[in-house]
Structure 1
Amino acid sequence: MANQRQYLEWHGQQWRVRVKVPARLRDLIGRGKLTHPLHTADLKDADARKWPIVSRLKGVIAAAERALATNDPLEAEALRHRLSNDEDDTQFAIRLRAEQVEGTEGLDRAKAFFALASGQVTPLGHHAAEFLSHKDYRLKSQGDFRRALDWLGDWLRDSRLPVALEAVRRVEAGRFLSESLVVGRSRQKATAYLGFIRQYWVWLLAKGHLTGENPWAGQSLPATPRQRREAESDKGKRPFTDAEVTTLLASAGGPLLNDLMPVGALSGMRIEEICQLLVSDCRGGVFNVWAGKTDNARRTVPIHSGLVEIVKRRSVGKKDCDYLFDDLPPIPNSRETRSDPAAKQFTRYRRKVGVDERPNGKAKSNVDFHSFRRWFIRKARDAKLAGAEGFDEWTLTWVIGHTDSDRDKSLDLSQHGYAGQDPETAKRALVEAVKLPEKGSS
């Protein structure tokens, strides 16, 4: 049950909101806690009323954090003024300082300083924490959102505009997309970052923090330039070739990768699914995958005969609650995925043995650990085309955790479950149909 007294304290025969100010910000804010009366003696009523006020007070703390963190001294000064009480002498000091800024840095900088310091505009990330709480993004998505917002702030600053929500009109949004967001990024990644920013504005407008139109609505990214005649062909992400699988499995990747790679190749599981396996998840000849990228990720995957020794060796002397791959560090607060260190180690190893493909100098390779999954799918398909029996195309969706909900329903009903056959038997037939390439194959 939630703690009703969280952020509340009893004061003067009524409840009030109290938010502690971090020690590093107390000199800047001028107090050790921020409070606001709720004018009620009823705890349940106070608990219901407190959250908008908590969000606002946390916004003050976030503004102080930005004032400390910004690399722009003038912006930091404006934010410090904003944190002061809006008394006449404070406003006079802001106007006087703005005149000084105009004389040294120009009218645009003076206007931006005055608007931010006097509270006429809202700092770009003022409501970011509340937005993220509302959206409940995963940590990676939270990082992507903050990264995109920082890029927008840098662009506004470079354009000598206030780093503020109100400074982003439709024309500025369009310029940011073409001058910053797409530079050095794939269209796919830029589209994803644009989605975060667009959703932030949708939420700001819905909550009444902004008025007017969404400047990001209807904005599109510049078309991808046509490939030059002399450019290398780039077909994007792909499976490993048999020769690449042989190279990766034959070389010395170390204790972790030497077990992780075969499991990826002979199960088709995602790297995070493998790294999340507990010893108890590997009983009865199957891997039990409890959660993953999609709802369909929850499934059982038969343990390939070529993996039995690895699973047995890694289970010896462990408790059911221990990880099968226990040679990974604990997950820090900065991320949710356990597999990150393994993925980075694999990338370094892959490049070392010469398994890489980055046409035209692209930032990310067309092959990565996920290419084992792609290879597994291709080999299962090839085995079926070559006459392998005991499974069909529907079986593949169960093994790899893809959805089959888009198939024609009548066909689905007639064929689902391999015409009545035990689906576990069909899955095992599919898994065993995938064979590691023999040495020297290409």
Structure 2
Amino acid sequence: MASQTQFLEWHGQQWRVRVKVPAKLRSVIGRGKLIVPLHTANLKEANERKWAQVHRLKAIIATADRAVTAKDPIEAEALLHRLSASDEGTVYAIGLRAEQIEQAQGLAAATAFADLASGRVTPLDHHQADFVSHQAYRMKSEGDFTRALGWLSAWLRDSHAAVAIEAVGRKEAGRFIAESLTVGRSAKKATSYLGFLRQYWKWMVEKGHATENPWAGQSLPTSPRGRRDALRDGGKRPFTDAEVVTLLSGDADPLLADLMPLAALSGMRVEEICQLYVSDCTDGSFNVWAGKTDSARRTVPIHSALVALIERRTKGKAPGDYLFDELPPIPKSRETRSDPAVKRFTRYRRDVGVDERPNDKKKSNVDFHSFRRWFIRKVRDARLAGVQGFDEWTLTWVVGHIDSDRPESLDLSQHGYAGADAEKAKQALVEAVKLPQGALPTRQPNTKPRLRRKGNIFTAA
């Protein structure tokens, strides 16, 4: 818990706000700390007043940081002027420099410079850190949002407009979508990135940082109709039984040779598998503690065909060791442990000819997640074939799907009154899934080479 005196300092019989300036910015700002008196000796009142000043001072530091890191020298110069925009000498310098820019680059560039330097507009990423903190984005989502904001910044700069919140109206938003966001990206990706921008502006409107959301109601251009000779594209799909046989009976390395059947016979997501500890594989069940959604926290019965694999991988290990301990540590650049395994699987899948890219699409319709899709399809097929002992509710608990879309009365009766599904029903469901004949190789992997990283490539040691 934060201290009551966080950002506060007692001075001259009253409290004042003090925010430390990072060492790399002290020469830019001209001091080592920023101070604002609060004119009160009451600690409670000081805590109530301090946050507005803390945010203002941190905004100054953020502006200085952007001035130092800005790639555009004109933008960097404007941000430096912005730090002292109220000084009479700075106002004169801004006007003089704007005239020079107008002669060299035109009126639009000069206006953008003057507006940013004088504080009439707010830098596009001024509230980025606060928004990301408010949204509690995971690393991937934060990266996608930063990427979308970067594209918008570059587009504004190329359009000789201020890289500022106020420079983005509905007209500019529509042009950016047509001229940049949808160029070279699938409709699904473009929609995702558009959602980040829409949420950023929605949050700024709620907080009073913007007056309107120019992205609200904006839509993507309609995709052109497919050619008559275009191949049918059904999108992401499960593996076929033949593909499962090819993958599981091929010459996979020991890591994939264990990872693939475990995924096929548990329905777990690849990251859930790679996060399993030895202690999570006891008493005949996998204990999944964290995953994509709140429903991901669950137990999954260990399929009888996986018992030998689990015994081999847990033998001689401590409870806190990973089940797949050969995966490298997670670097700061990502937050998922499974990435090296997924990349390794993608290369193997392509090598054995399991791929589907109709109409030369960039991404295959089959990937590691297709094992999970295959598991769910096999459960459905078993149910339709009359296998007893479980129902559709059991499947939602085994695979960790959100089931709250069902009618509230049914949801209440199943969760509030019937309670969690019986473990024997889960076991019946898992055992109903059978690997196709010839799927597993006769050999048993005895060695587990560790993956070593060189740049963005992982190789077996």
Give me the TM-score of the superposition, normalised by structure 2.
Answer: 0.88
SS in 1 for 2:265: helix
Deviates more, 1:244-253 or 1:162-171: 244-253
The ranges of structure 1 where at least 4 consecutive aligned residues each deviate by more than 6 angstroms after the TM superposition are 409-417, 419-422
User: Once the 2 structures are TM-superposed, how far is the Cα of residue 370 of structure 1 from its aligned partner?
Assistant: 0.8
* Structure 1 residues 5 and 350: alpha-carbon distance in aligned structure 2, compared to 1, 3 A threshold: farther
1:248-296 per-residue CA deviation (whole Å, 9 max, x = no partner) reads 2223432322221111111000111112212221111001112222222
Amino acid at match of 2:65: E
* Structure 1 residues 14 and 249: alpha-carbon distance in aligned structure 2, compared to 1, 3 A threshold: farther
SS in 1 for 2:242: helix
Amino acid at match of 1:308: V
Task: Answer yes or no: is 1:378 the counterpart of 2:382.
Answer: no
* Structure 1 residues 438 and 86: alpha-carbon distance in aligned structure 2, compared to 1, 3 A threshold: same
> Unpaired runs of 5+ in structure 2?
441-461
Looking at structure 2, the residues matched to 108 and 415 of structure 1 have their Cα atoms a distance apart, in angstroms, of 63
User: Once the 2 structures are TM-superposed, how far is the Cα of residue 349 of structure 1 from its aligned partner?
Assistant: 2.5
> Unpaired runs of 5+ in structure 1?
none
1:194-239 per-residue CA deviation (whole Å, 9 max, x = no partner) reads 121112112212222223x321121111112211222222111111
SS in 1 for 2:287: strand
Once the two structures are superposed, the pairs formed by residues 253-268 of structure 1 within 5 Å of their partners are: 253-268=252-267
1:353 corresponding residue in structure 2: 352
User: Once the 2 structures are TM-superposed, how far is the Cα of residue 85 of structure 1 from its aligned partner?
Assistant: 5.0
* Structure 1 residues 254 and 15: alpha-carbon distance in aligned structure 2, compared to 1, 3 A threshold: farther
Contact 2:140 2:334 in 1 (8 A): yes
1:217 corresponding residue in structure 2: 216
1:37 corresponding residue in structure 2: 37
1:247 corresponding residue in structure 2: 246
1:121-147 per-residue CA deviation (whole Å, 9 max, x = no partner) reads 110001111112222222222111111
1:89 corresponding residue in structure 2: 89
Amino acid at match of 1:76: A
1:299-344 per-residue CA deviation (whole Å, 9 max, x = no partner) reads 1110011211222122222222222222223333443322223222
Amino acid at match of 2:132: L
Looking at structure 1, the residues matched to 80 and 278 of structure 2 have their Cα atoms a distance apart, in angstroms, of 54
Once the two structures are superposed, the pairs formed by residues 171-320 of structure 1 within 5 Å of their partners are: 171-211=171-211, 213-320=212-319
1:18-61 per-residue CA deviation (whole Å, 9 max, x = no partner) reads 22222222222222222322223333433343333323322222
SS in 2 for 1:56: helix
2:109 corresponding residue in structure 1: 109
Contact 2:85 2:118 in 1 (8 A): no
* Structure 1 residues 404 and 115: alpha-carbon distance in aligned structure 2, compared to 1, 3 A threshold: closer
Looking at structure 2, the residues matched to 56 and 251 of structure 1 have their Cα atoms a distance apart, in angstroms, of 61
CA RMSD across the alignment = 2.5
Looking at structure 2, the residues matched to 440 and 129 of structure 1 have their Cα atoms a distance apart, in angstroms, of 49
Looking at structure 2, the residues matched to 95 and 413 of structure 1 have their Cα atoms a distance apart, in angstroms, of 67
Looking at structure 2, the residues matched to 57 and 421 of structure 1 have their Cα atoms a distance apart, in angstroms, of 51
2:446 corresponding residue in structure 1: none
Contact 1:278 1:320 in 2 (8 A): yes
SS in 1 for 2:35: strand
SS in 2 for 1:267: coil
Contact 1:394 1:416 in 2 (8 A): no
Contact 2:7 2:18 in 1 (8 A): yes
Looking at structure 1, the residues matched to 119 and 225 of structure 2 have their Cα atoms a distance apart, in angstroms, of 46
